[in-house]
Amino acid sequence: MEERIRRIGTELYDGMQREWSSLQRAHRWEFQVLRWCLADPDLRVRVLRFMDCLPALSDPRDIVLHLCQYFPQADSRLPAPLRLGLAAARPTLLTAPAVAAATRAVATGIARLFIAGSNLEEAAGPIHRLASDGFRVSVDLLGETTLSQSEAERSMQSYLELIERWPSLYPGPIHLSLKLSSLAFPFDPGAPEVAWRQVAPRLKTIFQAVLERGGLLNIDMEQFALRDLTLEIAQRLLEEFPATSALGVVIQSYLKDSEPVTHRLLDWVAERGVPITVRLVRGAYWDTEVILARQRRWPCPVFEGKPQTDACFERLTDLLLQHPAGVRVAVATHNIRSIARAIARAEEWNVPQERWECQMLYGVNPALHRAVRNAGVPVRIYTPIGEWIPGMAYLVRRMLENTSQYSFLSAGLTEHLPAEALLEAPAGV
């Protein structure tokens, strides 16, 4: 098996390297900025903190003030143009509007790499290009946790509009991703019945619209505190639509109890007798979960080392691929070894191609997207749509994802690791 993984992985790696040259020529400036942002751990944290607060800054003087605070002019690690710009920028000077405008332009340029459009019209072009390049898509409308009933209602209406306009975006079946917290207020795991009553009417309305058009709705997973509630609501929804297989859920391999949770989910699916889709991910809230557990002196719910998460991801891949009659498996990762291993297992166990696919994030290592597609594996691109600057919260999570373990966004932009390092088996496999 290891020999097959290395053979397949080396082919993917070589294909990825061939694709990178053309992609980097097309986005040279944005990649240079990202390389600088990600190369130094301390600078990366400051960049992410600044990007996280940028959407709340409307006054040019406030933007310049934050720039000067987060990036002192004397820091020799800053690129020379930025040091010069900071030297000329002061909140009280006339240069503040120009510096603020340039800052927003750079931030927007980076956001465009990872967000398909600020609205459906802008996203149509990128989605059409994905379709013409042979990729499947799953569209997510960006939006953090809602804070009112009116926001939850607007979120539902946005998804209904997306469903109505889907034929103008993509030629294939509808495939949507959404977070339950965007459809309910309050959405409290401590009050599951209240959460169900809040979310159910909007969730059912969206799901019914997806069903009528022969699509699939994937319920995204959020922080650990919402995991059990999210799975419970997904099961309750399917109990009201017993004959359909048009729903997907997510399993996060960085959670220590993800294996027993997956076994319970598979047992429930077997009893139900109708398959569902399971998207297997590592998890995007690692830093948050670790910090909260330490602050509250709780047991940490996530593996604190990358090898354990990777090993769990491989065990869960095997578990899910061994149940093709019960689940359609979406192996969602940018880890070359994880993809190569899934391909090897699918070949070994003769898993029908229509029962599994790879999923990757829009803009994150597109060279790998193409290499996997060229290998004959169906690839679905998770494609967010939302306003550029407010969408920074999504972008920060992508850049911060598993920062302390290993960022594959960082690896694709700042490091040139040999294939042998990327294909090494994690401890415990």
Task: Give the start-to-end residue ranges of the domains of the chain.
Answer: 2-111, 116-422
Distance CA 395, CA 409 (A): 11
- Mean pLDDT on 385-397: 75
Query: Which tokens sit at 231?
Result: 């799975």
Distance CA 88, CA 86 (A): 5
What local confidence, expressed as pLDDT, does residue 397 receive? 66
- Mean pLDDT on 198-203: 97
Higher pLDDT, 247 or 66: 247
- Mean pLDDT on 251-267: 97
What local confidence, expressed as pLDDT, does residue 387 receive? 86
Q: Residue 81's pLDDT band (boundaries 50, 70, 90)? A: low
Measured on CA atoms in the order 264, 268, 271, 276, is the torsion positive or negative?
Answer: negative
Q: What is the pLDDT of residues 207-243, one digit of tens each?
A: 999 999 999 999 999 999 999 999 999 999 999 999 9
Distance CA 297, CA 163 (A): 44
Q: Residue 138's pLDDT band (boundaries 50, 70, 90)? A: very high
Q: Is pLDDT above 70 for 429? A: no
CATH architecture of 116-422: Alpha-Beta Barrel (3.20)
Which H/E stretch holds residue 360?
strand 356-361
What local confidence, expressed as pLDDT, does residue 116 receive? 94
CB half-sphere exposure, 29, CA atoms < 13 A: 8
Q: Is pLDDT above 50 for 361? A: yes
- Mean pLDDT on 33-59: 77
Q: Residue 70's pLDDT band (boundaries 50, 70, 90)? A: confident
Average pLDDT, the chain: 87
- Mean pLDDT on 18-31: 69
What local confidence, expressed as pLDDT, does residue 100 receive? 84
Q: Residue 415's pLDDT band (boundaries 50, 70, 90)? A: very low
Phi-psi category of residue 72: left, alpha or beta, with phi > 0 → left and psi -120 to 50 → alpha: beta
Can you say how many angstroms the Cα of residue 169 is from the centroid of all Cα atoms in its chain? 20
Contacts (Cβ under 8 Å, ≥6 apart) of 142: 115, 384, 385, 386, 387, 390, 391, 393, 394
Q: Is pLDDT above 70 for 192? A: yes
Q: Is pLDDT above 50 for 403? A: no
- Mean pLDDT on 143-148: 78
Phi, psi of 341 (to 5 degrees): -70, -40
Residues in the chain: 429
**CA-atom Rg of the chain in angstroms:** 22
Bond before 186 cis per omega within 30 degrees: yes
Q: What is the DSSP string of 98-110?
A: HHHHHHHHHHHHH
Cα angle 249-268-335, degrees, rounded to a multiple of 5: 40
- Mean pLDDT on 377-385: 97
